[in-house]
Each structure stands twice: as C-alpha cells, then as structure tokens.
Amino acid sequence: MAATAQKRSAWSVIWDYLTTVDHKKIAILYLMGGGFFFLLGGLEAMLIRIQLAVPNNDFLSAGMFNQVITMHGTTMIFLAAMPLLIAFMNAVVPLQIGARDVAFPFLNALGFWVFFFGGVFLNLSWFLGGAPDAGWTSYASLAIDSPGHGVDFYALGLQITGAGTLMTGINFVTTIITMRAPGMTFMRMPLMTWTTLVAAVLIVFAFPPLTIALFLLIFDRMFGSNFFIVEAGGNTIIWEHFFWIFGHPEVYILILPAFGIFSEIFSIFARKRLFGYSSMVFATVLIGFFGFMVWAHHMFTTGLGATANAIFGVATMAIAIPTGIKIFNWILTIWGGSIKFTTPMLYALAFIPSFTMGGVTGIMLATVPADYQFHDTYFVVAHFHYVIVGGTVFAILAGLHLYWPLMFNTMLNERLGKWTFWLFFTGFHLTFLIQHWLGLWGMPRRVFTYLDGQGYNLANMVSTIGAVLMAVATLILAYNIVMTIVRNERVGKDPWGDGRTLEWSLPLPVPYYNFAQIPLIRGLDAYQIEKEENNGEMIPSEPLDDFHMPNNSFIPFVMSFGLFVTGFGALYFASGKDWAINAVSNMPVHDWALYVLIAGLAITFISMGVRSWKDDLGYYVKKEELERDLAALEEERGAN
Amino acid sequence: MRNRFKNTKLVGLMTFMLVFLAACGQPELSTLIPAGEVGQEQFDLMMLSVAIMTLVVVVVVIMFTIAVVKSRRSKLGEDFKPKQVAGNHTLEVIWTTIPIILIIILAIPTVYLVFKQADVSSAISQDGQIAEDEIVINVRAYQYWWEFEYPNEGVVTSQDLVVPTDTQVYFTLQGTDVKHSFWIPAAGGKLDTNIDGINHFYLVFDDDKAQEADRLFYGKCAELCGPSHALMDFKVNALPMDEYNQWLADMKTMEEPLEASADDAIEGQEIFNNSCIACHAVSQGGNAGAPGPNLTNFGDRHLIAGYLEHNEENLKAWISDPESLKPGNLMSGTYDLTEEEIEKVAAYLMELSVKEGSGDVSEIEALRESGSEDEDTEEGGEE
C-alpha cells in the first residue's frame, strides 16, 4: 500500500519496470510488449486485406506483399499470441498455486527482455533493407534464395526471441512442479495452471528443434555451410521436418493456455465447478503428447509417400478425441449453471462454436487425399484462423477483461467490452468463413493478387469488410483501455464476485509478496471452498514470519541488449563475404560488423559474469511490515 | 395457369442452380466440380468428411444452445444455486466412443485412397524407369514458369500443358530453383515440385468434363516461390486421345525452327537468334531443361507470361518490361532491345505456330500399341 501511495517520478517507475523481477510487473511488461506487436501484426493484416479486396490490385507490390504476410504470421505467432498468453501465465499462475513468485524470478525478467529485443530486432528489418519474405515457415529453398538480409533478420530475430520463450517454459515447469502451496496436489490445480504446465513442457521440447533449424539456416546463409543447399548435397525437406516438429506443438502451445483461460471463465460465470475435471486434465496432457506425433500432416503434399501420409493422417484424426472431450465438458459445465453474460463469458461462449468449426476443418485436413486439394489454399488460411483467432485470440481478449482487475485493480468498461466483442465476433466470421470456399474454388494462399474472372472477387471483398470490423473492434478496445486507465476507478478483492480459485482470494492490489502467509489448499477451487466453509478466509499454512524475496536487477536488460547488438554484428558480418550465400555475398562489406559482433557478445558475457560472481542474496520481508499491511487491510474492510 | 406455374418452377430451379453453381466455383478451376477420377475421389472424401463434421457441429451447437438458453442467470434469478457436478462417467464414455467410431468411418476410405492415389507403378517403376506405352509427362517448375516434357514422344513445351482425356496421365515433378507445387484444382490435388528429388502422381481428365470447361483447365503454383508466385499460372489443354496424339506428332515435325514469312518477322527471327536463343529454344531439336521456356508453338498458346491474354500487345509489353509484369523473373535485364526490335521479335514469336495435321501420327500410335488394350478396358469400366 505504502508504495502506491507515494508520489513517484516517471523515471523511477520506468526504472522499476526495467529492473523488476516481480512476476506481476513482468506480466504487465508482456502485456504491453505483446499488445504492441499485436497491433503491428493487425496493421499488417489490414494491409493484406486491402491489397486483396479487389483483383489485380497494386496497393502493395508483389515483393512487399510477401514481406507483409511473412511478418504478419511471424509477429502474430511469436511476438503477439505467445507473449500475451505468457502475460496471463505470469499474472495468474503464481497466485493460483499460492507462490510468492516464479521459481527463477531473474530468469523470468531475462526471458521477457530477450523476447522483446528479439522482436524489436526482427521488426527493425523494415527500416534496414527489407523484411523477411519467405513466409513465416521460411521453407529452406526459398529462404536460401531470398536476396538481402530479410531472412537473416528472421533467423536471428527468432533465435533471440525463441531463447526468451524457452527460458519462460523452463521457469513455469519448475514453478508449477515445485512451488505449489501445501495441499495443492496436482489434481487440485486449476485448469489454467494445468494447461500452463503442459504448454510449458511443450515449449521445452518444441523450441530446441526450431533453434537447431534456425542455426542451420543462419550457418547456410552467412557462414557457407551446406545443410539446405541441394547442389552441395544438402536437403531442404529436413527444414520442413524441423520446422513442423517445432511448428505443430507450437499451435498447442498457443491453444492450451487458451483452453485454461476458458475453463476458468466457464466455471466463474456459470457458478459451477468444471465438469469432468480429471478427464479435462487427461485430455490436456493427451493433446500435448499427440502434438509431437503429427507434424508431417503439414507436409502431405511434400511427397513423403503413402505410408507416412496414412500414418500421420490417422494420428491427426485421433487428436479430435481429447479435443471433443473438452468441448463437451465445457458445455456440461455451463449446463444447469447460472450464466452471467459478462464480456469474458461472451468470448468464452463464442469460442465453443467457433473453435468447433476450426476443429472439424482440422479433421477434414487430416483426410489426406482431400488435403491434396486443401493444402496451401485459402481453406487452410480459414482453418487456422478459426482455431487461432476463434481459440487463442478470443482467449486473450477474454483473459484481458477477466484478469484486468487482478493486474491493475480497475475494471475495463463492460459496455465497450461488449461492443468490442460483437464487432470482433461478426468481423471474424465474415472474414474467415468465406475463405473456406475461396480455397475450394482454387485460390492458393500467399498470393499477392488474383486475376479477374475466376469468381474470387465478391468473396474477397466480403473478407476485407470483415477485417475492417475487427479493426474497429480493436480500436474500441484500445479506447476502453485508455479510458479505464484514465478513470482509474479502484475495485476490491474478488471483483467478479464469483472467483473460485486462489488468485481471487487476494486483496487488490495484490501485495508485492503476494501472500503474507502461504494458504492451505483444501481442494479444487480452493477459494470457493473457503467461501462456503470459512467465510471466504483462506486458512494459512504457516505462522506469520519473515520470508525471503529477490532483489531487482538491471542485468537481464543489459544481457538481452548484448544479444540484440550481437545480432546486428552477425548479420552484417556476412555481407560481402565470398563464402556466404549468393543472396548475401554480393552485398557491400561492413568492416565494423566484426567489432559490433564482439562488442555484443562481450556485453552479454560480462553481464553473465557479473551475475555469476557478484552475490545477490536478496532481502527479507519483515514480520512487522506484514503485520502493518494486514492491519491496514483489516481497517479497510472495517470501513467498508 | 399451368404454364405460369411451370415457369415459376423453372425460375426457381434456375435460381437454385445459379446459387448452387456459384457455391461450386467455376468448372475450369474449382475443386468442387471435379473433372476426373482423382479429383472425384478426393471430392467424395471431402463430402463424406463434410457430412460427418456437419453432424458434429450440429450436435455441439444444439447442446450448446440448450445449455445457454436454459441456464441464463437473468431467467434463473440471482439466488439460484447451481448443483455442483463433478462429472458423469456414462456421458464421458459416450462422447469418447462416438468420435472414435466417426474417425474410423473416415479413416478407412482415407487410408485406402492414400495408397490408391500414390500407386504409379504401372507407368513409373521404383527406380524411376518410365513405361514407354504410358502417358508420362515430366514437369519442371522454374521461378514463375512451367516446362512440360513428353519423354516417350520426345516433345518439350512450356506453359500450356496438353493432356489426353479419359486415361491416366502420369506426372513426374521436379523443382529447379526453389520449391513449387503443381496444382490443377479441377483435376485433383497438388503435389510439390521439390528440388531434392522427383515426385510422381497421376491425374485423369474426363472428356465430357473437359468439354464443359472448353477443354482448358487452370493450373496454378501452390507453394510460395517468390514475388511472382501468384502469377505462376498455366493452362491445361485436355484433348481426346487421337487429337492429343496428333498434337504430339505435329510438335515432332518441328525439329528445325520455323522459318519466318512476313518481312518484320524475318528480321525478328534474326534478332531473336542473336539475343534470345541462348535461353529459349524454338524447336524440338534440343533437350528439356533450358534456362527459358521452349517457344516452339508459342503462337498457338493461350496466355502471355502465364497469365495475360494472348495477343501481340501483351507480348510487346512483356518483352519490353518483364519486371513490371512478373516481378523477380529471371528474364529481366538479360537483353537490350529497342522498341522497334521488340516489335519485330513479337511479330516473329506470334508466327511460331505448329501446323495442325502436319505430323505422322502412326509412330505415336505404335508407341501406345502395347498398352492400348488396358486403356480400353479401363474406359469400359468407367462407363
């Protein structure tokens, strides 16, 4: 309380966020970073839809269009959707399991800054000779062929940002396994925590293949190796395997936390415990497990042969079973409940039919011979936007409204929230439903234009109009956020009134140490149990005493900045070197690049050294301070 | 009265057909109007999956709607306390078993067709040997154009693919620079042209379906391959077997380049021979795999640069500034011609026509001889 009451200079606030290791502030950083990139990716989406609104359009040139689609996909997946989900993981999971922070707070901060600098590095390509243009999948033959440094920005930028994500994955696996409050067994963990755990495990196993693939690509393009260069004995199909061994689990990394958020929402706003909790947990784990065995369904037309195609086709269909279990469990959760149509609940309800449609087209794509027709057409574009927008983006928007009070102690305006929802929902279906047919009528994806007279004109115009509605919805959301911050109307503990899990038992704003005393967990929906049996008071599992907290640190920022600098050094070092690939070797030589490379690595390694050799023992939160805070809370409650 | 009623019915039928056809796309390029066996099988599988999936969506939406409508708090009142249900074993068994059954129903034809459609053994052996009596076409994909070689007949062409109807047409597919994907939506699914190895598959073009599409199907590149990926279209000219054989025989007569006749075309030929012939062959004398498209029958083709209407205006525009029409193509900047020269080259190229019926078809027919019986029985089987 004392901290917020003080008047603080802008600089001290900024410095606080630059050095913070508090998961709640890192969540806000992720929300801002991911939100910024979400707007950027949305802008790119609008450029795509403007270009495709009419046939033979020249709003964007062919080369520019390829840059825009590449950056739209890459930005939305790596820099918007994942970080925004990680924002909610950071904001909610430690509170939900009764921890004072994540297992590795320093690593948490490092993960954010590495992600952020990687994203900035990637996007600076727009101003430094052109963005990557080989698609977000950057299939090797085209990526090797792509002239200029665009693909180098892609490879290095994703390498840096991917390292950040990997750190976050490791952190959450450790946190959830080791830091649960007494009594919170695995089978009492809220679904949001479960899905975060499975997604984090997926990150740990899925990102290394991407890291390796990107290194091979970097070596090929900049250091004269031949992994993907066919004339020299390389093989480009290997890239496809690497990419999709990462890429398929990646879509589950995006959707599982979304399932978690929706599970929480259904429970809260239907006032009912989750139906079939244990089968939900089982289904989540199964989806994560299957996620690693179906990557080749992205490659049915690559020519892997009938046996491989048949096996991967059937394996893919099998994923429908656990996903179906989830859908029916959610329906049965609201069945017989008491539904309140809040903004988060609207998104959650809209998610069920929308995601089901995306799911069934997924099964259609698994019917291999039919996929020969669907593959690389607008049918696929429609399918994955139905699952990613209808699933992940709906979850992000729902989570934003649901967890906003937990993060900021204010409430987003519900009326504006519902406007956003209806516009976004309508725009989404208008944009993507018709694209299924465009694909079936023979329109390939990733085309910068289409000719008149093929029957594509009307459908594309409809699609663009839908996109405009989504853009308007996003603007209303932005206005809502700004007005909420300006009005700054404080809400109190359990602002939705029906919170069931531990995070809603905390006073708002949440104290920087989260729990003065770690609570005892007596079952699933821990807070709900105490509401019914103990007047909403959590039972402490420990006496009030001093406890240890980590110090803030500027080192994560510096360490990440070093990698950012290194990226530029490595990128320009290859320019004009005759052993680099043609696309890079005929660029002007930059003599300074080597020094930049060395300087960047030096910054990172020196800061790693400082971190290793200079002991940072943290500090203790004193019993007296806790008593003061608790007394203040008591007084506040009395006043109310 | 009766007549009016009939008319209403007719109008109704027409409207229905119009909507239906609009939902199916256009016969020359829609996957929903399959033009042959392969496309038809894929379409049938699609419809089976659509039927199953519609069932799933309908069940989910009905359950969902009932749940939402019945459980509104505005209806139940603020004080209604929902019964807390942990789960239901029977229900969970039901909604696990039914999807498994549905998936088995879908998986069986899927697996069967995967193996069936991958079987090219009657034309192409394991080690890539091509049967001489089968229709085999080698497709090579280049940055933004297609080369079609008929290895059994020794004919090479580009951009306009000519295929026979009512028989299996086998393709070998290869990319030369980057990965492309060979797709004729009406005839069947796509297959990638990798640069690492050769892919094989077959398609069938029904003659009556070909007639509906004016014997010209659209082909497209379906894998992002650079800036002009969207413009990497081609045409598929599906001819009855005898006309197809005649076309091959005619092409084979062009062992030497055609001599230009008009004055400016004669001059154009000379310019062409100085500036263009290093990449573009204009005869069947050479091999497949040249840096630029083979132009032997250029005057007979349907498109300029794969996507523009076939006329001299477009041809001149293409030669004078290919970059503006197909960004990133490899022809830009490889020659330096004045406007006058371009006009002459264009005149020459438009003359490059193969005379119909000029070739001796008996040689080609002899080639088909050993396999002709099989084809007959297959045709009989289809009818």
How confident is the model over B20-78, as pLDDT tens digits?
556 788 889 999 999 999 999 999 999 999 999 999 999 999 999 999 999 999 888 88
Which pLDDT tens digit goes with each residue over A592-634?
999 999 999 999 999 999 999 988 889 999 999 999 999 998 8
Q: Do B179 and A141 touch (CB under 8 A)?
A: yes
Q: Which residue has the higher pLDDT, B364 or A383?
A: A383
Which pLDDT tens digit goes with each residue over B122-169?
999 888 889 888 999 999 999 999 999 999 999 999 999 999 999 999
Among A1-15, A227-241, B149-163, B273-287, the range scoring the smallest mean pLDDT is A1-15
Q: Do A133 and B227 touch (CB under 8 A)?
A: yes
pLDDT winner (highest mean) among A194-203, A528-537, B249-258, B365-374: A194-203
Q: Do B225 and A142 touch (CB under 8 A)?
A: yes
Query: For chain A, what is the domain count?
Result: 1
Residue B27 contacts by C-beta under 8 Å, 6 or more apart in sequence? B33, B35, B186, B209, B212, B213
Could you list the beta-strand ranges (E) of chain B: 136-142, 145-150, 155-158, 160-164, 168-175, 180-184, 188-193, 199-204, 216-221, 234-239, 303-304, 308-309
**Dihedral, CA of residue A84, residue A87, residue A91 and residue A96, to nearest 10:** 70
pLDDT at position B6 is 59
Give me the domain span that covers residue A400: 2-639
Q: pLDDT-derived band of residue B372, with 50, 70 and 90 as boundaries?
A: very low
CATH number assigned to the domain comprising residue A192: 1.20.210.10
**Nearest-CB residue to B49 (from A66, A301, A367):** A367
Give the number of beta-carbon pairs within 8 Å between A and B.
Answer: 282
Q: pLDDT-derived band of residue A555, with 50, 70 and 90 as boundaries?
A: very high
Write out chain A residues lying below 8 Å of B196, CB-based: 230, 235-237
**Nearest-CB residue to A270 (from B71, B223, B230):** B71
Q: Answer yes or no: is pLDDT of A287 > 90.
A: yes
Question: For residue A352, what is the nearest residue in chain B, using CA coordinates?
Answer: B64
Which pLDDT tens digit goes with each residue over A23-69?
999 999 999 999 999 999 999 999 999 999 999 999 999 999 999 99
Mean pLDDT score of chain B: 88
Q: Answer yes or no: is pLDDT of A174 > 90.
A: yes
Q: How far is B281 from chain A (nearest CA, A)?
A: 25
pLDDT at position A577 is 84
Q: How far is A353 from chain B (nearest CA, A)?
A: 6
**Range A629-636 contact pairs with CB under 8 angstroms and sequence separation of 24 or more:** A629/A1, A629/A511, A629/A516, A630/A516, A630/A544, A632/A1, A633/A507
Tell me the mean pLDDT in the region B229-240: 95
Q: How far is A39 from chain B (nearest CA, A)?
A: 25
pLDDT at position B380 is 39
| Domain spanning B263-351, CATH architecture | Sandwich (2.60)
Among A143-152, B11-20, B94-103, B367-376, the range scoring the smallest mean pLDDT is B367-376
pLDDT at position B3 is 55
Contact A43, A75 (CB under 8 A): no
Q: pLDDT-derived band of residue B234, with 50, 70 and 90 as boundaries?
A: very high
Q: How far is B83 from chain A (nearest CA, A)?
A: 7
Q: Answer yes or no: is pLDDT of B382 > 50.
A: no
Tell me the mean pLDDT in the region A387-415: 96
Q: pLDDT-derived band of residue B377, with 50, 70 and 90 as boundaries?
A: very low
Residue B2 contacts by C-beta under 8 Å, 6 or more apart in sequence? none
Tell me the mean pLDDT in the region B199-212: 95
β-pair type (B303-304, B308-309): antiparallel
pLDDT at position B4 is 55
**Nearest-CB residue to A277 (from B86, B175, B192):** B86
Maximum alpha-carbon separation in chain B: 96
Measure the CA–CA gap between A515 and A494, rounded to whole angstroms. Answer: 15
Q: pLDDT-derived band of residue B105, with 50, 70 and 90 as boundaries?
A: very high
Write out chain A residues lying below 8 Å of B221, CB-based: 444
Tell me the mean pLDDT in the region A240-255: 96
Q: Do B29 and A270 touch (CB under 8 A)?
A: no
pLDDT at position B257 is 85
Q: Answer yes or no: is pLDDT of B285 > 90.
A: no
pLDDT at position A359 is 94
Which pLDDT tens digit goes with each residue over A475-499?
999 999 999 999 999 998 999 999 9
Best of B48, B60, B172 to disrupt the A interface (most A CBs within 10 Å) is B60
β-pair type (A547-549, B155-158): unpaired
Q: How far is B256 from chain A (nearest CA, A)?
A: 33
Q: Which of A386, A321, A301 is nearest to B107 (CA)?
A: A321
**Nearest-CB residue to B76 (from A63, A338, A442):** A338
Q: Answer yes or no: is pLDDT of B2 > 60.
A: no
Q: Do A321 and B218 touch (CB under 8 A)?
A: no
Tell me the mean pLDDT in the region A375-388: 96
* ipTM confidence: 0.92
